Structure 1
C-alpha cells in the first residue's frame, strides 16, 4: 500500500505511519510504528459489509461491558474498506496444553455470558444491527452462507433438513469467531478482538465455532488424535447439524475441489450424532483425512 505519492486516507486522521502488512485470507493488517494502533484493510468476501459490521458491533459490545479495541477511524475508497483500531495489550489464549485449553474454554464461557443475553426482536443475520432483509429462519441464515455449488452436492438436502432443529433456539448476539487468538488475556482483564464475523443467531453457533477451530488447529499443528481434549468442550452447548455446517463452511472457502471431499456419510454421521464427544471424535477423524488430502488450513 502506498508508493503512489497520494496520502492514504487515514493520514488525514493523524494516524500512522504503519509498518509492513500481514496478509490473511480476508484482510491485511499493519501495526503503527509506535505500536499504538493497527490498520485493517478488508479484502475478499464483502469487504465493505464486514468493515461496517465490525465497527457497529464493537460499539454495541462495549455497551455490554465487553472490553474491545476502540475504533480510531474507518472509511473506504481507493484504498479499500479499512478501520484503524487502538492496540489492545494482552496475550492471546493458548491451546498448547490441556490446562491452557481449559482456561480458554473458561474465557469463552465468561465472554459469552455477556454477549448471549436474550434481546427482544433479534432476528438471524450478519452483524448486531437488524435490517428488514434479515427476516429469515436460523437454518436458512446458515445455508445462505454456503456457495451455490453446495446446492448440487448429494449432502445438501441432508444438511438442510438437519439444520431446521436450530430454528427453535433463541436468537442472541454472536461474536462469530471466538477462536483462541481473538481472546487477549491482560492480567485480570479479557479483551475480545476481530468482530467482523459478528452475527445474530443461536448461541450454539459461537460454541461450535470454538470447538471446530480447537480441533482443526490442534490437528494441523500435528497433535495426535488421542491428545485432542474433546472432553473439555462438553461444557459448551452442542449441535451435530451445526458442527457439520461449520466443517462444510471451512471447506467451501478453500479450494473449489475441497468441498467434494466430504461425503453424504460424513454429513449424516455428524448431523445425527446426539453425543458431543463422539461427534467431536468424528470431526477429528474427518479433518485428519482432509488434511492428508492436502486441504489447506
Structure 2
C-alpha cells in the first residue's frame, strides 16, 4: 500500500484513470476505467479521521479473514483526504422484495457473528485503534456523534438517560454503516465495503443501523408504513433508545432545520419502547412524517 507518498494525480496514473463520479454529502467516489479500483475523496465530517479509520479497519478485518477491499494508496491533497481501494466482486444486497430483505438480514447475522469481537481492554470510541486518552462510556460515545446543537433540544436529557443501560453491554468492534449497498454478495462469499464509520461500542448500534436503513429506504422507495418486513427485522437484537438515537443522527446530518422537525414526544416514545414490533412501527411513522415534510433521504 502507498500511504501519503503520492498525490491523487499520481495515484490516478498508477490505478486510473477514474471516471463517473458519484457525489454524496460526505464523500465523492470514482471508479477506474478498467474496473479494478475506486478513488474515494472524504469530505464534510472529520475527513482525515475517516480516512485513517477506514484504512485501519480494512487491514484488521482482512487479518480476521473477512473479504474487504485492499487499500492501494491513501493520502491528502487540495481536494481533501483520499484513498484508492481495490474493487471486489459481488452484487449489493437489495430490499425490493421480501426474499432480498431476508437474504440481507441473513448476511448481517452471519457477518456480525464474526465481526462483533470483544475483549476486556476494548473501550468505546471511533475507529478500531482505541487511542483515546480518556475513554468515553458507551452512552457518551453515541451522544458525542450528535452535533452540539442537539444538547439544546427538549429530548436530549431523556435520550441521554435512556441510553445509560448500554454501559453494561460488552464493547465490540462495529462496522458502523451496514446498509445493503455495503454488503456485496456473490455465489461464493460476502464482501464488505465502506468501513469509514468503524467504531468500538455496543453491538446493538450496528443492528439499529440496519433496521433504520431498511425502514427509511423502504418508505422513501414508496412502501407504505405498516407494510414493512417487521417479522424479519425482529430477528436482530433490539434497543429502543439506540433506535431513537439512530433516527436523530440521520436528521442531525441532513439540512440544518431538519432536526427541529422531530417532536420530543416521538423521541420519548421510541426510546421508551421495549417491544420491537411496536418500536419499528413508531420508527416508520416518524420517518414517513419526516419524508412528507421534505427531509431528504
For normalisation by structure 1, the TM-score amounts to: 0.95
**How many angstroms apart in 1 are the aligned matches of 2:147 and 2:116?**
28
1:132 deviates by: 3.0
User: Equivalents in 1 of 2:60, 2:30: separation in Å?
Assistant: 25
1:43 aligns with 2:48: no
Aligned partners of 2:129, 2:24: CA distance in 1, in Å? 26
Residue 243 (structure 1) shift? 0.4
Distance 1:169 1:188 in 2: 34
Task: Figure out how many residues of one structure are paired with residues of the other and give that number.
Answer: 291
- Structure 1 pair 32–134 and aligned structure 2 pair: CA distance change class (3 A): farther
Residue equivalent to 1:3: none
For the residues of structure 2 that align with 1:28 and 1:36, how far apart are their CA atoms?
A: 17
How far did residue 225 of structure 1 move? 1.7
The residue aligned with 2:63 is 63
What is the aligned partner in structure 2 of residue 8 from structure 1?
A: 9
User: Deviations 1:30-78 (Å, cap 9, x if unpaired)?
Assistant: 0111111110000111101100100000000111111001111111122
Query: Which is further off, 77-86 or 186-195?
Result: 77-86
Structure 2: stretches of 5+ with no match in the other structure = 1-6
Cα deviation digits, residues 84-133 of structure 1 (max 9, x gap)? 01111110011111111111000000110111122231100001110133
Secondary structure of the structure 2 residue equivalent to 1:132: coil
Indicate the residue corresponding to 1:127 in structure 2: 127
Name the counterpart of 2:237.
237
- Give the root-mean-square deviation of aligned CA atoms: 1.2
> In 2 relative to 1, CA 270–75 (structure 1 residues): closer, same or farther, beyond 3 Å?
same
Q: For residues 146 and 118 of structure 1, what CA distance do their matches in structure 2 show?
A: 25
In the TM superposition, what is the alpha-carbon distance from 1:134 to its structure 2 partner? 5.2
Cα offset for 1:7? 7.3
| Residues 183-236 of structure 1 deviation map (CA, whole Å, 9 limit, x = unaligned) | 000212000000000000000000000000000000000012232001101111
TM-score, normalization: structure 2?
Answer: 0.95
Alignment of 1:271-286 (within 5 A): 271-286=271-286
Moved more, 81-90 or 226-235: 226-235
Structure 2 equivalent of residue 173 of structure 1: 173
